[in-house]
Amino acid sequence: MVSTRIQRLLVLGTSLGILLLAIGAAPASASSSPREVMMPPRGAAHGSARPSHSSNLTYHGGVGGVGVETGADKVYLVFWGSQWTNNDPSGEAAILTSFFNHVGGSSWNNSVTQYCEGVASGTVTCGSSGTHATNPTGVLFATWSDSTTAAPAHPTQSQLAAEAIAAAAHFGNTTASKNTQVQYDILTATGNNASGAGTSYCAWHSSTPSSYGNIAYTNMPYVTDYGASCGAGFNGMSATAGITIVNGHEFAETETDIYPNGGWLDSKGAENGDKCAWISGSGTSASQVVHFGSGADYPVQSLWSNANNGCVISYP
């Protein structure tokens, strides 16, 4: 028979474990189930998870100490499947290639540099502490038309994750250290998107464990398939506005929460893009066309800035 003292110790240990899970004291780990951080369609109800417009982001300890995208901050665009061949009615490939050739170093993306890793869980302001997320120029490192065979008609999360791992191998990013600075944008062709696109989400980002370390990737549907629900004509902009609004949202969120949920989130789990999604009107927090350089003007949403306690279209 277990002694009364031992029983009490077991109860105490169980209670302490429940408390740590409730307050999020333990940092995320590589073995945690991957979370799909979804950008909802316009007008979709967030319910109890609606982002707060007054609650700042806090650091969540990282996954293996990695919480933000540092260093070279590389983006790889992967046009997945033979369905892309001569089949891009909205010109999404050219738009995204141009966008990622210009977004690095922009004042729009600079707000991510206030967030960091290597600090205590619960940190709100990094200051000069920790290792900060970066905003270098030239973030688009390469594209890959993986068109030898057809992609699955409506890929699952595991199939998208497997394609991200295949992309890491294709680009030679076969060590864990290389993949702490990398995100893979998995783009599905028109009519070939994963289940729930356009109704449950416009895009989402996640991560997956692999023999190359943790891999950060985005499921980027062909968003113009979903018209106004995913940004076509939003806030008086063009029919293709959703392409860069949605992918820019996922890009900035991956920079600040590279392996969800180890990075920067608010108390309801919202990231820097979630808190500012689909804001219309004429204010500085509204989605709008931003000038990124000569001949480079792109529709984007604002991003949450702890330093400003609000959504900003440029920083500082």
Residue ranges per structural domain of the chain: 56-312
pLDDT: is 7 or 199 the higher one? Answer: 199
Over residues 158-163, mean pLDDT: 98
pLDDT of 44 = 73
CA angle 66/68/74 to nearest 5° reads 105
Confidence of residue 43 (pLDDT cuts 50, 70, 90): confident
pLDDT > 70? residue 72: yes
CA angle 34/110/185 to nearest 5° reads 40
Express as a percent the part of the chain with pLDDT over 70.
86
Q: Are 197 and 221 in contact (CB under 8 A)?
A: yes
pLDDT: is 3 or 188 the higher one? Answer: 188
d(CA 186, CA 289): 24
Strands 140-146 and 182-188, sheet pairing: unpaired
pLDDT of 258 = 98
Neighbouring-strand partners of residue 312: 303
Average pLDDT over the chain reads: 89
d(CA 272, CA 113): 12
- Which pLDDT tens digit goes with each residue over 256-270? 999 999 999 999 999
Over residues 57-72, mean pLDDT: 97
pLDDT > 50? residue 3: no
Cα dihedral 132/167/277/259 (nearest 10): -50
Express as a percent the part of the chain with pLDDT over 90.
84
Q: Are 39 and 273 in contact (CB under 8 A)?
A: yes
CA atoms within 13 A on the CB side of 64: 13
pLDDT of 203 = 98
Q: Which of 160-169, 195-204, 290-299 has the lowest mean pLDDT?
A: 290-299
Model pTM?
0.88
Neighbours of 189 (CB within 10 A): 23
pLDDT > 70? residue 53: no
Neighbours of 89 (CB within 10 A): 10
Over residues 184-198, mean pLDDT: 98
pLDDT > 60? residue 120: yes
- Which pLDDT tens digit goes with each residue over 209-255? 999 999 999 999 999 999 999 999 999 999 999 999 999 999 999 99
pLDDT of 35 = 84
d(CA 316, CA 308): 9
d(CA 183, CA 73): 8
Confidence of residue 33 (pLDDT cuts 50, 70, 90): low
d(CA 107, CA 12): 50
Confidence of residue 176 (pLDDT cuts 50, 70, 90): very high
Task: Please state at what angle helix 92-102 crosses helix 241-256, rounded to 10 degrees.
Answer: 50
